[in-house]
Amino acid sequence: MISNTKLYKAYLIVFFVTTSLLLIGLCSSNLIFFLKSQEFASFDAIYQKQTTQDLAIYGSSIIDDVKQYKLFVYSKKQPKIITLGSSRTLQFRERFFNKPFYNLGYTMSSIEDGTVIVDQLLKNHVPEVVILNLDFWWFNDNVNHPSIPKNFFDNVSGHHFKYKYLKLPIEWLKTGSITLSDYVSLLFSKNNNIGVRGILRNSGIGNDGSFYYTDVVTGDPRLHFYDKNFADIKQRINTSTKNLEYGHTASKYSLNKLQDILHKLEQHGVRTVLFLPPIPTEILSLLNTDNYKYIQDLKTQLTLLNIKVYDYSEPSTLNSNTCEFIDGFHGGDVLYSRILRDLAKNETYLENYINRPLLDMITSRDQGRSFSPDQRVTAKNEIDFLNIGCKKSYVKL
């Protein structure tokens, strides 16, 4: 007879071997999942795919490497005109222009960032025109401003695989961020886009550096959080947090840094256009209080310093409304088409750079929408994703 001890040992061996095989199989499957998604592709591989396809959206679900990647692409493309600044410039598209363009939005989180970024840009290539957005909170000393380390762009080629990432697909399945169908599809399908978010949601950075919020505007059910009715922004205003800290006077330090940036660009013969991006009227009314006196002081100081800035804070100045916004601080394609048209009307040399017929068509046909329909991106229709009663008409292309 086989003793109970031997049976127990045999059971443990079978259990251990079976469990090990399952874990190896699962880890191998997840590794293939990431390899197929190209989450760890080199910057050069991503760039090559984006330059050989009409559109390849790069949307990583793991690491935010936008600053490094965009500077890498900029050095390759060497565009004549760029947009520069925070995420609030991301909706300027290449098709809005008729000269080589690249969107360097999301490379600046502060004026301090700007000094580092501009130095990097001018090392690699000098553009003819820079369109730069200013975020009002960059000029509030009560806000904690991040800054890019001086060696941030040294030896950057892409992000690298770490074993801890192998558990992520399981976590995403548990939370509903991806479905089992998504998982299997990514394993066995040929993918035109890059990165998990890019492939599964058609969301991320386009070939031109602009950003596609496809999952947001189409109401993708896998997107668990979205700022419906600007609830998050309103909470930040009420609590004086997350870039919306109260303040009374504009930062002299940041204003000086801005002057340094503008002087450096001017020395290199770059024409620079500055603008304050639009804010939904509902949010703007909450900022027009004594708690945010520094915003008006900023505008006053810019005038005194003879720094020309186009103030689009109020969307009605562009014949726009809240339905053309992505969220409480980001306008969409249509609103940024309006901005570019107005900039060119005032800075007439920009007419040589813009695709005027397309901009006119977008602002006429797509009014009231945040996304100007593009079949390369999605065939899905835009919905009232902000839940504020916007009627999004279907556009047949």
pLDDT in single tens digits along all 397 residues of the chain: 456 676 667 666 666 666 665 667 667 889 999 989 999 898 999 999 999 999 999 999 987 788 999 999 999 999 999 999 999 999 999 999 999 999 999 999 999 999 999 999 999 999 999 999 999 999 999 999 888 877 777 766 666 778 888 899 999 999 999 999 999 999 998 899 999 999 999 999 999 999 999 999 999 998 877 788 999 999 999 999 999 999 999 999 999 999 999 999 999 999 999 999 999 999 999 999 999 999 999 999 999 999 999 999 999 999 999 999 999 999 999 999 999 999 999 999 999 999 999 999 999 999 999 999 999 999 999 999 999 999 987 676 6
Helix (H) or strand (E) holding 265: helix 252-267
| Residue range(s) defining the domain that contains residue 321 | 66-157+227-365
If you search the block for the tokens 């690249």, which residue do you land on? 102
Domain contains 115: yes
Question: Dihedrals φ, ψ of 81, to 5°?
Answer: -135, 140
CB 104 within 8 A of CB 209: yes
DSSP SS3 for 318: helix
SS3 percent helix, strand, coil of the chain, rounded to 5, is: 50, 10, 40
Supply the pLDDT for residue 219: 93
Domain contains 30: no
Identity of residue 168:
L
Give how many domains the chain has, as a whole number: 1
Supply the pLDDT for residue 49: 96
Supply the pLDDT for residue 228: 85
83: left (phi over 0), alpha (psi -120 to 50) or beta: beta
CATH number of 98's domain: 3.40.50.1110
CB 133 within 8 A of CB 85: yes
DSSP SS3 for 370: coil
CA distance 91 to 324: 12
CA distance 273 to 70: 20
Domain contains 15: no
Supply the pLDDT for residue 21: 59
What letter does residue 105 receive in the DSSP assignment? T
Task: List Cα–Cα distances, 264 to 130, 257, 260, 271, 372, in angstroms.
Answer: 12, 11, 6, 11, 35
CA 226 to chain centre: 15
Domain contains 219: no
Domain contains 263: yes
Domain contains 17: no
If you search the block for the tokens 């600044």, which residue do you land on? 85
Supply the pLDDT for residue 14: 65
Domain contains 396: no
Supply the pLDDT for residue 10: 66
Domain contains 137: yes
